[in-house]
Amino acid sequence: MRAVLLVDQKQNTAGIIKTYLTAGGYSVDHTPDPAEALEFAAQAQYGVVITDLVLPGMTGFDLYREIRSYDDRVQFVFLLTPSGEALRLMGTFERKDVINKEPLSMNKVIQKVRAAFHE
């Protein structure tokens, strides 16, 4: 299962990530809406969810808890745009699961996705 769910409101960032991962052989579904992400995750099995920490209506951590409540195999990678809210939330995650979005390193994204899939 090489399916990735990408949850990010920034269309440019999401487009770049999706392009790179698709070129690497991954199937990528993208939504900027965390409620829609929950619907996607309920209907399909993803190996990895890449999500921004700060989302409208919920945090990346809320999304993590909801999806992990019924799928304990899915791995998460969190995108962090340095801000007060994001830095506050980051304390609840292991640093190995967090990628700084500014500047975004596609090498780090690909490394974390590969590691999550044990490649």
Q: Could you tell me which of 58, 69, 70, 47 has the C-alpha nearest to residue 9?
A: 58
d(Cα 89, Cα 28) in Å, to the nearest integer?
Answer: 25
The tokens for 57 are 């209506």
The second-level CATH assignment, the architecture, of 3-116 is: 3-Layer(aba) Sandwich (3.40)
Length of the chain as a residue count: 119
**pTM, rounded to two decimals:** 0.87
pLDDT in tens, 2-47: 999 999 999 999 999 999 999 999 999 999 999 999 999 999 999 9
Token look-up 């909801």 returns 66
- Residue 12's contacts (CB-CB under 8 Å, 6 or more residues apart) are none
pLDDT in tens, 45-67: 999 999 988 888 998 889 999 99
What residues does each domain of the chain span?
Answer: 3-116
